[in-house]
Amino acid sequence: MGFAIDRLDHLVLTVADIDATVEFYTSALNMEAITSGDRRALHFREQKINLHQAGKEFEPKAANPTPGSGDLCFITTAPLESVISSLKTGAYAIEEGPVERTGAVGKMLSIYLRDPDGNLVEISNYL
């Protein structure tokens, strides 16, 4: 093959309520909400999550865009205990964890919660 992928730039989540999604990701995960024209997104470090309103998706789009079908894993360098404490303070329910998992570059410790659409959100530290 003549090329290699370097990194993920962005992904798209189709959501039922963009405002509720922005509130969750900015409050629970400290992401930054950004707007560009009529498009809204969540920004963190060098990546972003573009948000599409269900039924009003931008073209081109996934073949079957559906709120709640995402399964995302975010890596943090903050101690997981501190993440758990912060989430509990904000009344965000942890569904599972901490549990050991395997990520793209090795073993990690993960917790799981859900966003307003039911997308599975994993927050992890590499061991």
DSSP structure string for 56-108: SPPSS--SS--TT--EEEEE-SS-HHHHHHHHHHTTPPP-EEEEEEEETTEEE
Active site residue 122: yes
pTM: 0.94
- Report pLDDT for 12: 97
pLDDT at 81 over 80: yes
Catalytic residue among 23, 32, 81, 122: 122
Chain centroid, CA 44 distance in Å: 10
- Report pLDDT for 2: 87
pLDDT at 5 over 90: no
Residue bearing the bigger pLDDT, 2 or 124: 124
Percent of the chain at pLDDT > 90 equals: 95
Number of C-beta neighbours around residue 31 at 10 A: 20
Chain centroid, CA 9 distance in Å: 13
Q: What is the pLDDT of residues 49-71, one digit of tens each?
A: 999 999 999 999 999 999 999 99
- Report pLDDT for 46: 94
| pLDDT tier at 16, thresholds 50, 70, 90 | very high
